[in-house]
Amino acid sequence: MRGTVLSNNKGYALERRHDLDLLRLWLTVLVICTWHVLDLTATGGVINKIGGLSFMRPSILLAITREVPRAFVIPACFWISGRLTARSVEGAGKSPGKLVVDRTIRLFVPSVAFTLLIWPFALLPGAGVSDFPSLWRFLLDYWKSLNGIQGPAWYSATLLCFDYGLALLKKVSETTAYRRLVSRPGASLLVSLRAYMALSTYGWAGLTMTSYLIRQAFPNRVIFVPLSVRPGFLLGYIYAYGMGYQSFCHSMSTMTGPFSQAKLGYKSGLSMADNLESDGSERNSQDGPRTQITVLKSRASARLAIAILVSLAFYLSILIVPALIEIFRPHMSGGHFSAESNWTSISEALVLRIDHLYFDAGFDIDTALYAIWREFTVFGLIGPAITEWFYEFYSGPMQEPQERVGWCSRTFFTVFSPRYSFVAYLDHGPIGILLCWLVESTFVKNSAHPWLHFIYESAFAREITQIGMTLVDFALVTVVSFAVGWLVVEKVPGCKKVL
């Protein structure tokens, strides 16, 4: 899995890295889990909910589980995308014009096609479509009412704008006036190493304050049309994209944060063992490369576990526990708490509070702490830790499918490949919503069944059953989404070169 890498005359490694592709695959799976399964199941059912299904109540356990990955997944995706763009522009020397053409084909066309042709089918369960004429009328009404990108395609549309903006900046950097202004002989958007390290260490703090102020004017309930992106998070996405771009230019292999060590990328022509002497980590010179690699893997695993625990503890202790105390207090009577009768109302109240912290704004301590927690989780804790973990376990150039090891081996599930993750990300929305609709329809049709009465009447039974349904739903949506991705990429003519 580890070997030599190719580089250009600037020393940039041009091979696609196995660890970043696997990280992108795992992030796609987390997106499916957090943005679809948990959002729909934890907060009350599908968008076009079948009327009055009392089973689908908010689940506080699922809602809390959702928050940590929801904070860092999308910024991490933009960080990887920034690196890939830098690899094309600074590494391979792709011109701004070629970058625009390439991104138009790879991002603009799929985003528009998804919005026009795929996303409408996610809205069919509540549309009352019974025959072809009604389907055609529904599609016409949908197309007439469109005002921007729909569904998960907001990410690819936003990334497209970032790449277009980068191409424009790159074109400006090629002008004589720009080179005179920055006193550089070449056309480059590279910041100094000192500036990059300062941004990596302290940038999250400035980002927190700026994003917090932006959310006062544009709370996260506001969606920016036509990209369908939340303005309160947009600056964080730009920052992640830019830091990913600069990390490639400075040969940094992982996201660098205030508590992480800078890891330099591989030098051309050297194996992982040879590069162990130049990555900046402390090692015992008497240990062999294999022992050193084991130590690095153990450290990376420990750092990732600590980062997740610290982030979750921060979220629970500062944001949730005080609210939990206030919510429980009215339900106490003579020192006795009736858990069975009040669990549902408490869960609903906590889920509403969690959503309030995510969506709403205000100059108060809760939203300020949430802003600090979110940006620090992304750029100070989990972001650097998870990129380091994948780097230590899977670093090296990307291999052919039959040479891979682990759970994405060809002998296990061929469809679980980074090659299909983009299509899986786009199609998981319609697939998941239709699947949830089928599940809810099944419960409605069998609502008189004796075992369902037990679930409806028991708050704890509802919670446990809902968690079980979430796991099953998550597994089904993930498998089907990647299977569809495999079919589209491998079997539809022309898609393999575009997606």
Mean pLDDT of 336-351: 64
Cis peptide leading into residue 226 (ω within 30°):
yes
| Count of other CB atoms within 10 angstroms of residue 171 | 16
Structure token pair of residue 88 = 């094309």
CA distance 30 to 24: 10
User: 111-138: per-residue pLDDT in tens?
Assistant: 999 999 999 888 877 677 778 888 899 8
DSSP 7: B
Kindly list the domain boundaries of the chain, sorted by start residue: 18-498
User: 58-100: per-residue pLDDT in tens?
Assistant: 677 777 888 889 899 999 999 999 999 999 888 778 888 999 9
User: 15-28: per-residue pLDDT in tens?
Assistant: 678 889 899 999 99
Strands 336-337 and 332-333: antiparallel
User: 418-436: per-residue pLDDT in tens?
Assistant: 889 999 999 988 888 787 7
Mean pLDDT of 490-494: 86
Q: What is 293-338 written as a DSSP string? A: HHHHHHHHHHHHHHHHHHHHHHIIIIIIHHHHHHHHGGGEETTEE-
- Percentage of residues in the chain having pLDDT higher than 90: 33
| Count of other CB atoms within 10 angstroms of residue 156 | 22
